[in-house]
Structure formats: structure tokens, C-alpha cells
Amino acid sequence: MRHPVIPALLIALFGWQAAAWYLRLPRAAAPANGMETADLRPLQGLTLQAADGSRHAWPAITNGLVGLLFPSPDPAANRRALPRVQDAWAQLERAGRPLRVVLCDIAPTAAEQDAFLQDFKPPWPAVPAGEERLRRAGLAPPAAERPQLILFDARGRLVTRRGVDDILHMGADAWEAWKP
């Protein structure tokens, strides 16, 4: 949720262009019901697909964070952002900071999803193309120009909707802002 005072503060400090810039920032969707928590339990029975074609169960989160990563419809934006997200994730894994990432809404068809997975070879499993449980859980894909990483703690409480932005600015140090 955007704070209503921020545009007025930006106008006072930097002029109307700064406020206009702020209001154009993409809003990531999560949860779509406007709440600051999401019930991720309906997703626990979901079988996920990895880039190598193997199948995985939805990650059991008892500590740490779960991240729903929505790629951008723009392949160039994915090529710029996803390698940095992957590097930060690998650093967090090596440091013992559990972040379970699941790719969501990659493509409308299984063939397009397979092509994406082969192109990017992400280390994370993906929700199968056309799976409706995300929407039933109140999680809709964001309409954004770059990938969006939406993080929840083990209880389903929203940690951040701007995980990719945090990683692009802070790298793996973003964990300090997110820590559960």
C-alpha cells in the first residue's frame, strides 16, 4: 500500500516530477485481497516443475521466507534482473538463510513455460502453466515491467512486495531488511 503522505512530501522537497515518478512505480500484487497476509496452505499440495524437467513438492516453510517470483513479460528485463536475483539467492543459501523461491505465472502454456525454463535455467521450481491455485489463494500476477519477488514469512505474512528491487539495490544484504 502506498502511503498518502509520500507524494506531498516529494512535491515539497523535489517538485511535482518526483511525485509523478513515485506514482508511476509499479505496484506488485500480493495478496490481491488487499490484506497483508496470504494463506499459502492451498498451494502446499502443488507439484512444481524444475528446469531439468523434474517435479518437486511445494516447499514446506517452517522458518525463513518463501518468495513468489513473477517474471516480467519483457525477456530483456528478465535477462537483466534474474541473474542478480539468482546470485543473491545463492549467497543466502550458502549463508544458511532459508529463502525458498517459486516461479509463478511464467507463461500461459506449458510449451512457453518449458522454453522460459530452458532459456533462463533458474534454480527454482515453477508453478505449472495455467495453475489456478495462485488466484484462488488471492495471489495475482503483478503488472510490472520487471520481475517481481513477493516475500512471505512462514506464517504467510507479507514481508515485501519489492524483493527484486531490494536485491538490485542491496544484493544479498537485502536479507537484513527482510529477516523473519
pLDDT digit string, tens, across residues 41-68: 777 778 888 888 888 887 766 678 889 9
State pTM to two decimals.
Answer: 0.75
DSSP 8-state class, residue 59 = P
Instruction: Count Cβ atoms within 10 A of the Cβ of residue 142 and give its class: 0-12 exposed, 13-18 middle, 19 or more buried.
Output: buried
Cell, residue 115: 522454453
Q: Look up the CATH number of domain 26-178.
A: 3.40.30.10
The whole-angstrom separation of Cα 116 and Cα 67 is 19
pLDDT digit string, tens, across residues 107-146: 888 888 888 888 888 999 998 888 887 777 777 666 678 8
- Boundaries of every domain in the chain: 26-178
The 10 Å Cβ neighbour count of residue 52 is 8
Instruction: State whether residue 157 is helix, strand or coil.
Output: strand
> Across the chain, how many H-helices and E-strands are there?
7, 6
DSSP 8-state class, residue 37 = B
Residue 75 main-chain phi, psi, to 5 deg: -60, -35
